[in-house]
Structures are given as structure tokens and as C-alpha cells.
Amino acid sequence: MATDLNPSPRLLLGPGPSAVHPRVLRAMSTPLIGYLDPEWLGLMDEEQSLLREVFMTKNTLTLPLSGTGSTGMEAALCNFLEPGDRVIVGCNGFFSERMCEMAARYGATVTRIEKPWGEVFAPDEIEDALATGGPTKMAALVHAETSTGALQPLEGIAHIVHRYGALLMVDCVTSLGGTPLKIDEWGVDVAYSGSQKCLGCPPGLAPFTASDRAREVLLARKSKVPNWYLDLTLIEKYWSKDRAYHHTPSTTLHYGFREGLRLVLEEGLEARWRRHRENAEYLWKKLEELDLSFHVTTKNRLPPLTTVVAPGGADEAAVRARLRDEFNVEIAGGFGPLKGRIWRVGLMGFSSRRENIALLAEALREILGR
């Protein structure tokens, strides 16, 4: 017979999930109501309004999709691409590779522009790809690459992409709520994130937004969206005044997500970005004192997630295991070409606190000193 649920009290300092704020957990213990209850519909409107503020957008089509960040990625591709459409993908990490895989499955023609894992793209590299190879429907970039710890600059990119008649799609799973992201000001057409990173909520929802330009592309499709569950023309009718049933959402996850968004805006976006940056710099300083180095240059380093080069002679997996078993601290290793070479340390949302950094640094000092 299964025993009582009693997981170890881990300090989550990996690439996700991050620690969940106590207020979010309390909100999730609220009794359920029906998915067409007038009170629930009012909460949906509030949720959308809060999410627009966090995304810094006025986009009508802004809502949390039921599913993880990969749900957002799939929705961003299956709704706006049709067979034969060309999409340019900036490939510099694991999640851009996933974009290529998904886009190809929907029949798109994928043009890859590539950088080593941990580097970012310059505007002229994106323009060169747009200027050759024929018409382009979409250019896709990962704003915050969770596999490498690199932060892709976005300012000015949309101006180039729009000049070639394409949409700009951005993966901001590890940046929303943790580092500057200005959807309208930067001209981003399609963006998605995850609830479990800098927003400090449990996994299971994918914040999503699409511009009016993108919405026009969606409505002008020649074929039906090939993924029924993620068809935004159907989902939007549930989140709009139509309230047409699409699927049964997780009331509990939405309660928590709404509270998480409230916490973000109570702190203030700029204050929250500053906290993540200052705590990242404190982490970098503490790790440098241990003679550790970093995979990404300071200029391109992602504050919510740091990739640390495992020192020569150290068994990086054994160090992570000792952190977990002796100190109840979770960090992650690398994968792909970075497997066995790096540690990924996340300081996201409620996990981004100085006391957590001090504990991690002292635990690493003790383990590596042995």
C-alpha cells in the first residue's frame, strides 16, 4: 500500500520548477467551482488582464494555455505555420532544436541559422537569413535558453523581421517575470512562457500572447490548424465573451497562477527584474570566490539561470548528488554537447533569494574542498 505523501524538503535551485510562493500554495487550496460559473468567468478576465501587464502588451489574444512551456511552443508553431511555409530558427541550444523538430512535423520548411551553444545572434545574422532563400513566414528565437544560460537580445530584431513580411516568435519560458521582456515595445508577434520558472507557480500552464498582426495571419490560414487541442481559433472563443466550451481547465492551477501574477505586479516588474539581476551577480561573485568559471560571457548571461563550468577533476554528477543528499539543494547538469560539463543553477521567482545563494555557495565550498 502507498504511504503518506512526504517528499523531501528540497531547495529548488535548478532550471525549473522553482520554489512556489506560500501565497500561491494557499490559493491552490481554494475549493473548486465550475468552468462556466460566473465567478470563474470573472476570474478568467482578471487573469488575462494581469497576464497582459506582465507581458507588457495590449494584445487581445493573451491567455494561459493548459500545458507546459512546450505546449506554448507547439501552439506558436501549429497556429501560424502551414505546410510549405518557411520559418527561420536561431539554433543555439536545446529548445531551438525542439522548435525545428516541431515546425518540421507541421510541414514547414525550416531554415537553420546556427551558433555554438551559449552564444547569441546579432541582428545582421538574422537579416542575412531573411534576405536569402525566399519569402519567410516566421523568424523564431529563444529569448532565454534554459539549456545554455544565454540571453538573446531582442531590441530592434522585430523591425528587421517585419521589413521582410515575417512574424517574430519568441520563447520566453525562462525570462518572463525575471528579466526585461517588453512584447509591444519590442514588436514581438508571438510569445510563450511557462508558469514554473520566474513566475513562481507550479508547472502546467503556458502563458501565451499573439499580436494583431499574428492574429490576422491565423485567421487567413488556407487550412485548418492541424492540432485541435491547441487551435487558438477555438481556445480564444472560450476566453472571449463567447465562452464556448473547449476543454476543462485545471481550476487549481489557475487559482495559483492568478496569485502568482498578483505577486509579480505587487513587487513591480522593474523591481523584480532588478532583484533577479542583483541576486545573479551575488551568485557569480560567490562562485568566482570558489575559482569557478561560467559557460556564457557576462554580457550575454541570463540572470535567472547561470551555467557554471564544472571544475576539472570533479565528478559533476556526484557533486549534484551530494548537494541533494547532504544539503537538500537541487541544481541540474547539462545535456546535449554540454552534458557532463556544466551545472545549471536557477534563481527564479521565489527561489531568487540571497540566503539561498549563501547556502549553495557554502555547500559547494565544503563538497569541492573534500
Instruction: Return per-residue pLDDT of the chain as tens, 370 residues.
Output: 889 999 999 999 999 999 999 999 999 999 999 999 999 999 999 999 999 999 999 999 999 999 999 999 999 999 999 999 999 999 999 999 999 999 999 999 999 999 999 999 999 999 999 999 999 999 999 999 999 999 999 999 999 999 999 999 999 999 999 999 999 999 999 999 999 999 999 999 999 999 999 999 999 999 999 999 999 999 999 999 999 999 999 999 999 999 999 999 999 999 999 999 999 999 999 999 999 999 999 999 999 999 999 998 889 999 999 999 999 999 999 999 999 999 999 999 999 999 999 999 999 999 998 7
CATH number for the domain that contains residue 331: 3.90.1150.10
Q: Is 138 helix (H, G, I), strand (E, B) or coil?
A: strand
Domain contains 353: yes
Peptide bond before residue 17 is cis, with ω within 30 degrees of 0: yes
CA distance 312 to 10: 27
How many domains in the chain? Answer: 2
Pair (246, 326) in one structural domain: no
Q: What angle do CA 129, 133, 136 make, to 5 degrees?
A: 75
The three cell numbers of residue 253 are 492551477
CA distance 204 to 257: 10
Q: Are 168 and 320 in contact (CB under 8 A)?
A: no
Same domain, 173 and 205: yes
pLDDT at residue 75 in the model: 98
- Please check whether residues 137 and 43 belong to one and the same domain: yes
Residue that is last in its domain, among 231, 246, 265: 265
Per the structure block, which three cell numbers stand in for 159?
Answer: 523591425
Beta-strand pair 138-142/86-91: parallel
**Does one domain contain both 208 and 324?**
no
Does the predicted model carry a pTM greater than 0.85?
Answer: yes
Structural domain includes residue 1? no
Q: Residue 346: inside a domain, yes or no? A: yes
According to DSSP, residue 177 is labeled T
Question: Do residue 298 and residue 283 come from a single domain?
Answer: yes
Q: In terms of residue numbers, what domain contains 237?
A: 22-265
Residue 135 lies in a domain: yes
Q: Identify whether residues 76 and 224 lie together within a single domain.
A: yes
Q: Given this model, what pLDDT does residue 293 score?
A: 97
Residues 280 and 247 in one domain: no
Same domain, 157 and 61: yes
Chosen domain end from 265, 290, 307: 265
Task: Report if residue 5 sits inside a domain.
Answer: no
pLDDT (0 to 100) of residue 106: 97
Q: At what angle do helices 269-288 and 251-267 cross, to 10 degrees?
A: 80
The 10s digit of each residue's pLDDT in 98-150 is: 999 999 999 999 999 999 999 999 999 999 999 999 999 999 999 999 999 99
* Boundary residue ending a domain (215, 250, 265): 265
According to the model, what pLDDT value does residue 1 have? 80
State which amino acid sits at residue 74. E
Q: State CA 173 to chain mean position distance.
A: 0
pLDDT at position 210 is 98
SS3 breakdown of the chain: % helix, strand, coil, rounded to 5?
40, 15, 40
Q: Which pLDDT score, from 0 to 100, does residue 11 have?
A: 97
Do 258 and 272 lie in a common domain?
Answer: no
Where would I find the H helices in the chain? 22-28, 38-55, 69-78, 94-105, 123-131, 157-163, 183-186, 212-219, 232-239, 251-267, 269-288, 316-327, 354-369
- Return d(Cα 317, Cα 4) in angstroms, integer: 30
Tracing cell 522548435 back to the chain, one arrives at: 99
Cβ–Cβ under 8 Å, residues 313 and 369: no
Alpha-carbon distance 313 to 319, whole Å?
11
Give a yes or no: residue 4 inside a domain: no
* Tens-place pLDDT, residues 174-202: 999 999 999 999 999 999 999 999 999 99
**Nearest to 18, CA basis, from 272, 197, 268, 212:** 197
CATH number of the CATH domain containing 114:
3.40.640.10
Q: Is residue 6 in some structural domain?
A: no
* pLDDT confidence of residue 313: 81
Regarding whether 197 and 85 lie in a shared domain, the answer is yes
For residues 236 and 97, membership in a common domain is answered with yes
Judge if 126 and 258 occupy the same domain: yes
